[in-house]
Chains A and B, each alone.
Chain A
Amino acid sequence: MFFRVMDKDRLPDLVRGLAAEYEVIGPIAKGDEFVFAIVSDPTELRLDYDTTILPPKKHFMPPTESLMSFRVQDSEVVGEELDRTPRVLFGLHPCDINGLMLMDNVFLQGYEDPYYKARRESTLIVGLNCMPHEGCFCKAWGTDEVHWGFDIFLSDLGDRYFVSVRSVEGADLLDRCVETRQITPEDTAEFQRVASEFQASFEGQPDTSQVPLLLDAKYDDPIWEELGSRCLSCGACSMVCPTCYCFDVRDRLEPDGQEGTRERVWDSCLYIDFAEVAHGHNFRASRAARVKNRYYHKQWGYLSKFERVLCVGCGRCASACKADINPRIVIEALQAGGGSL
């Protein structure tokens, strides 16, 4: 990795340079909140955003996407389109970049998912440092920093950015689009100061020690019934989660009934029929079983395969949940010895 410094007033140059070659997606305001959306003008970018309603995963795995189009008569696939639109995701915080890397494990290991892979390979990631806001608990999982998974990463030093360059494409891009300069010892010192300030600003991070083990040890704990009695099974937590990847597959027929498209759509393990099989048997008929499964998978199932928990502490689920269920609450209950919340 090498480093450059870019003056802040150069930012529009960078964004315009990118926009000439890529579809630029970044945080913009929507009412009182922020969303990742196409940026048509650099002034729209809100690099002071705290978090976005939806995580960036929708740009790699859209809520609905076509897997193939088919002909019914002879079961032939007549079209398979991979989205290779050159894109830049601009201004991702470390939690979201870490989230993408957790998705990569699922979609790029074992059987490769060609749809995810095509988008991932066509997308540049420009990271951006942040300051903890209320609800962040990335530090508890070690996802507060990110050392790879981006092309370039901007750290805000007030009047300038300290730019970490990870990839050849990132380096070329900087060269082509914007004027930067070599870092000086003062820049590095300031970078370190900002990083320490960031670390010192975290408050009340949950104690995540032994969480995977506790999930097994307290598998039959009454807390699950209690959480289940609150959960609305609405699936909002899954939709806003940067690492929830479950999906359903559906066929849509054209009116003539001869051709159609097979689509995948976001799904949630909290929906009642998620684990239902033929003859009405449901492996997770109760809401308690479904809530428990969500946490069990994220903090133990995934870990058993990839040695990381499937949560980056972004806090989006906590804002989305109408029943006040979120990882902090669940972890606290587990640590407290369960029983009641």
Chain B
Amino acid sequence: MNPTAVRRLAAYEQLSANPYRPWPARITSITELTDKETLFELRLIDDDVRDAFKFESGQFVEVSIFGVGEAPISISSAPSKQGFIELCVRNAGDVTGALHSRQCGDIVGLRGPFGRGFPFEEMKGNDVLLVAGGLGIAPLKSLINHIHDTRHEFGKVTILYGSRSPEEVLFARQFDMWRHRDDFDLHLTVDQPDETWDGDVGLVTNLFERVDVDPAKTFGAICGPPVMYKYVVAEMRAKGMEADRIYVSFERRMKCGFGKCGHCGVGHQYACIDGPVFNYWEAMNLQEAM
């Protein structure tokens, strides 16, 4: 092996030698999306560790703020974007709050990637119907961007995204630009509109009236608050989609991220290693899932 390959292998082994160990990453950009959510772009500092870091849409990292703690956060950027990862983070408490107080150039810790993501390769050649509620757009954004970067490999791509109010719509600027594209069928809805809102009003499930689904060639991907899954899955099933073509991503309390600490149990599985992405056939056979 050439010296670079040897070094990379060593870095890869280092990455996996102690999965509890966070690696320093620099915040390279901060974009405020809403009052509570901010998009952080991060770059692992060590070149070899960065090269060894490979992920799939739907996987997550543990963000580590030494002295405060760690939080599992989905990767929002696509694997096709190299060298940087983006995290869309809601200020929800200690760790996420501490992250929000950081500035561009500051260093935080990252470990991962962890978990099972969306079956991107399997989805290729098919239509994709993505349904997000609130912050659930965070992991789906990675999938959306990845599809975007290899758009010709997919059929029809439909995105249904529900938020509470117009101020809470994440990635609003980008989605606004996408509204007039014909390669993404995008529908945004809010529960409480204001005078500026010209999208839909009501629950995300109402949008299903407007989408045409070819069940034999469509994959579904859902992420949102716990209450949402049951209703969205029912809509997809009503369109004739098979349970094992519908993918859901679950959020649970987590500490380690790799199957040891026990916090993220869902029925007989762990969200961190068996998920966070499950297909609905698996999920419907899991106690406590939905």
Residues of chain A touching chain B, judged by Cβ–Cβ distance below 8 Å, are: 67-68, 70-77, 80, 106-107, 110-111, 113-114, 216, 219, 245-251, 253, 257, 260, 262, 264, 267, 269, 274-279, 281, 283-284, 289, 293, 296-297, 300-301, 303-304
Closest Cβ neighbor of A73 among chain B residues = B107
Closest Cβ neighbor of A302 among chain B residues = B268
Docked-complex contact A72 and B255, CB < 8 angstroms: no
* A188 CB to nearest chain B CB (Å): 42
Docked-complex contact B268 and A260, CB < 8 angstroms: no
Give complex CA distance A204, B287 in Å.
Answer: 32
Tell me which residues across on chain B come within 8 A of A260, comparing CB atoms: 66-67
Give complex CA distance A4, B157 in Å.
Answer: 71
In this complex, the interface size class of chain B, counting residues with CB under 8 Å from chain A, is 35 or more
Tell me which residues across on chain B come within 8 A of A269, comparing CB atoms: 262, 265
Tell me which residues across on chain A come within 8 A of B16, comparing CB atoms: 111
* B82 CB to nearest chain A CB (Å): 22
A257-B67, A276-B253 known; A249 vs B226 contact (CB < 8 Å): no
Docked-complex contact B66 and A80, CB < 8 angstroms: no
Closest Cβ neighbor of A258 among chain B residues = B67
Tell me which residues across on chain B come within 8 A of A251, comparing CB atoms: 66-69
Give complex CA distance A260, B261 in Å.
Answer: 21
Q: Does B24 contact A (CB under 8 A)?
A: yes
Q: Does B251 contact A (CB under 8 A)?
A: yes
Tell me which residues across on chain A come within 8 A of B64, comparing CB atoms: 75
Closest Cβ neighbor of A274 among chain B residues = B263
Tell me which residues across on chain B come within 8 A of A300, comparing CB atoms: 268
* B262 CB to nearest chain A CB (Å): 3
Q: Does B273 contact A (CB under 8 A)?
A: yes
Q: Which of A247, A277, A289, A304 has a CB less than 8 Å from the CB of B252?
A: A277
Docked-complex contact A247 and B260, CB < 8 angstroms: yes
* B234 CB to nearest chain A CB (Å): 21
Docked-complex contact B262 and A277, CB < 8 angstroms: no
Q: Does B259 contact A (CB under 8 A)?
A: yes
* A263 CB to nearest chain B CB (Å): 11
Closest Cβ neighbor of A76 among chain B residues = B24
Q: Does B81 contact A (CB under 8 A)?
A: no
Docked-complex contact A247 and B19, CB < 8 angstroms: no
* B98 CB to nearest chain A CB (Å): 10
Tell me which residues across on chain B come within 8 A of A279, comparing CB atoms: 92
A114-B17, A296-B268 known; A248 vs B67 contact (CB < 8 Å): no
Tell me which residues across on chain B come within 8 A of A281, comparing CB atoms: 225-226
Residues of chain B touching chain A, judged by Cβ–Cβ distance below 8 Å, are: 16-22, 24-25, 64-70, 90, 92-93, 96, 107-109, 225-226, 251-253, 255-256, 258-263, 265, 267-269, 273, 287-288
Q: Which of A73, A75, A264, A277 has a CB less than 8 Å from the CB of B253?
A: A277
Extra inter-chain contacts (6) besides given A75-B107, A251-B67, CB under 8 Å: A106-B259, A114-B18, A248-B255, A274-B253, A296-B267, A304-B268
Q: Which of B22, B66, B93, B260 has a CB less than 8 Å from the CB of A71?
A: B66
Give complex CA distance A275, B263 in Å.
Answer: 6
Give complex CA distance A14, B258 in Å.
Answer: 41
Docked-complex contact A301 and B253, CB < 8 angstroms: no
Dominant SS among interface residues on chain A: mixed
Q: List 18 A-B contacts (CB under 8 A).
A: A70-B67, A75-B22, A75-B24, A75-B108, A76-B24, A106-B260, A110-B258, A114-B18, A247-B260, A248-B261, A248-B263, A251-B68, A267-B262, A274-B253, A279-B92, A281-B226, A284-B288, A301-B265
* A108 CB to nearest chain B CB (Å): 11
Q: Which of A75, A267, A284, A296 has the most CB of B within 10 A?
A: A75
Give complex CA distance A250, B65 in Å.
Answer: 11
Docked-complex contact A297 and B260, CB < 8 angstroms: no
Give complex CA distance A165, B97 in Å.
Answer: 56
Docked-complex contact A301 and B226, CB < 8 angstroms: no
Docked-complex contact A275 and B253, CB < 8 angstroms: yes
Docked-complex contact A111 and B259, CB < 8 angstroms: yes
Docked-complex contact A249 and B22, CB < 8 angstroms: no
Docked-complex contact A301 and B269, CB < 8 angstroms: yes
Tell me which residues across on chain A come within 8 A of B109, comparing CB atoms: 75
Docked-complex contact B66 and A72, CB < 8 angstroms: yes
Docked-complex contact B18 and A246, CB < 8 angstroms: no
* A260 CB to nearest chain B CB (Å): 5
Give complex CA distance A106, B270 in Å.
Answer: 12
Give complex CA distance A114, B13 in Å.
Answer: 13
Q: Which of B24, B68, B256, B263 has the most CB of A within 10 A?
A: B263
Tell me which residues across on chain A come within 8 A of B256, comparing CB atoms: 247, 249
* A28 CB to nearest chain B CB (Å): 31
Docked-complex contact B263 and A80, CB < 8 angstroms: no
Docked-complex contact B252 and A75, CB < 8 angstroms: no
* A258 CB to nearest chain B CB (Å): 9
